[in-house]
Amino acid sequence: MRTLRAKFALLLVASIVAVVALITLAVIYVFATPKDLEVDLLAKQFITMERLARQGPDVKGLSSAPAAGALDGEQTELLRAATERLGTRIELLVTHRADDFRIRTVSLPAGQDRWVFVDIDPPSDPEVLVWLALMSLGVGSVAVKAANRMSRPLALLESAVEAVNADGTLPALTEQGPAEVRATAAAINALSARLKQAIESRMRLVAAAGHDLRTPLTRMRLRAEFVPGDEERALWLKDIDELQLIAHSAIQLVHEETTKTPAETLRLDELVGSIVAELREQNFDIEMAGACEVYVKASRLTLSRALRNLCINAATHGVRGKVTVTGGATARITIADQGPGIAPDMLDQVFEPFFRADRTRSQNIPGAGLGLTISREIIRKAGGDITIANGPAGGLVQTVELPAFTTSRHD
């Protein structure tokens, strides 16, 4: 009942049933036979039947005793008074049937030890309920169909949002069906085209800026070599190196967002183990704390680059890192460090380009501030995601989750 389609159907059914029920009750109230008139009509019928029964003494089907059952004194007196009011008092009896207390039987005297039985129908409430039930069933089927049609544009929007690609673009939708569905699909396709153009324009701008910076930076490096004084020259060269790193990282970010690399079956625990071993040879303080065999589908080159960035972050900014690989339906890589962590109000910003926490600025650690952005882009293109949180005992915990590949490892 949480879906919009079900809510639409329920609302339509409830509204129509309520309106019809109110109209039915109003008609019953307005056109219902008055009580006195109804009793007089019954009394006239009973008088006629009693006269006919007395005129035909050989009529079959007459009983020698009144109908069995509990006597309804109120109705008996009511009907006797009505017959008397019409000029012929009949000493009739009204009893309730033993098998169905709702049905009353009127026993009319037709002579000595001769009785005529007439059953009075039960109240009409069950008929009204049956009418409402049948009406609700019919209206419900129509309401479900109408709700389905009304909610199709919204369902189309929902499916389109769920189908957003890792690069933020929407797949093209088929523009067919009812007019409102075609209009919605056309609007979504137009939005997708504009988003794609905006993203491509941004990527071209970043790539062009990064590429065009290389030439002036090379000239600046050459000129810096002739700056007098070793200390001053070293400062110039350091700033130029940082600018070159930023330009290279920007180009790499564009490359990761625009390039599609083929996926292959990887044994994740072995890949992470090789990255950790390589970084330890480069004197990074990081180690494997545990691993299990698990396979994923991803590009070896790009996934290695992403995991290497995360491990380097833990070993540099976090002082020391420990890596754990676990399996199951989801392959999970946990990289915990022993650093001071990040202020909670800044955790949402860690994946923004060029983000640097204050503690990182205070340390003289090189970096362009795009490592986490690039890593997340790579991991999301592989169908996974990454989260960063402060550990319960301090430090940061970087968690990477990827869909586990459960079929044959030789595929």
Cα angle 18, 23, 26 (rounded to 5 degrees) comes to: 125
Q: Which among 138-152, 215-229, 243-257 has the top mean pLDDT?
A: 215-229
User: Is residue 285 domain-shared with residue 357, that is, in the same domain?
Assistant: yes
In-domain check, residue 306: yes
Contact (Cβ atoms closer than 8 angstroms) between residue 272 and residue 307: yes
Q: Which of 167-171, 258-262, 364-368 has the lowest mean pLDDT?
A: 364-368
In-domain check, residue 354: yes
Contact (Cβ atoms closer than 8 angstroms) between residue 266 and residue 296: yes
Question: 171-200: per-residue pLDDT in tens?
Answer: 777 777 777 777 877 888 887 788 777 766
The residue type found at 101 is F
Note down the domain range covering 116.
33-122
Q: In what order do the strands lie in the sheet with 385-390?
A: 286-291, 321-326, 330-337, 396-403, 385-390
Handedness of CA 312, 317, 320, 321 (dihedral sign): negative
Buried b (16+ CB within 10 A) or exposed e, 107-126: bbbbeeebbbebebeeeeee
Q: What pLDDT was estimated at residue 369?
A: 61
The tokens describing 96, both together, are 């309730």
Q: Provide the number of structural domains found in the chain.
A: 3
User: Is residue 396 domain-shared with residue 291, that is, in the same domain?
Assistant: yes
In-domain check, residue 410: no
User: Is residue 318 domain-shared with residue 345, that is, in the same domain?
Assistant: yes
In-domain check, residue 177: yes
The tokens describing 308, both together, are 């290497």
Question: 60-80: per-residue pLDDT in tens?
Answer: 667 888 888 888 888 888 888
For tokens 């049933």, the residue is: 17
CATH number at residue 194: 1.10.287.130
Reported pTM: 0.50
Question: 11-28: per-residue pLDDT in tens?
Answer: 777 777 777 777 767 766
More confident residue, 97 or 267: 267
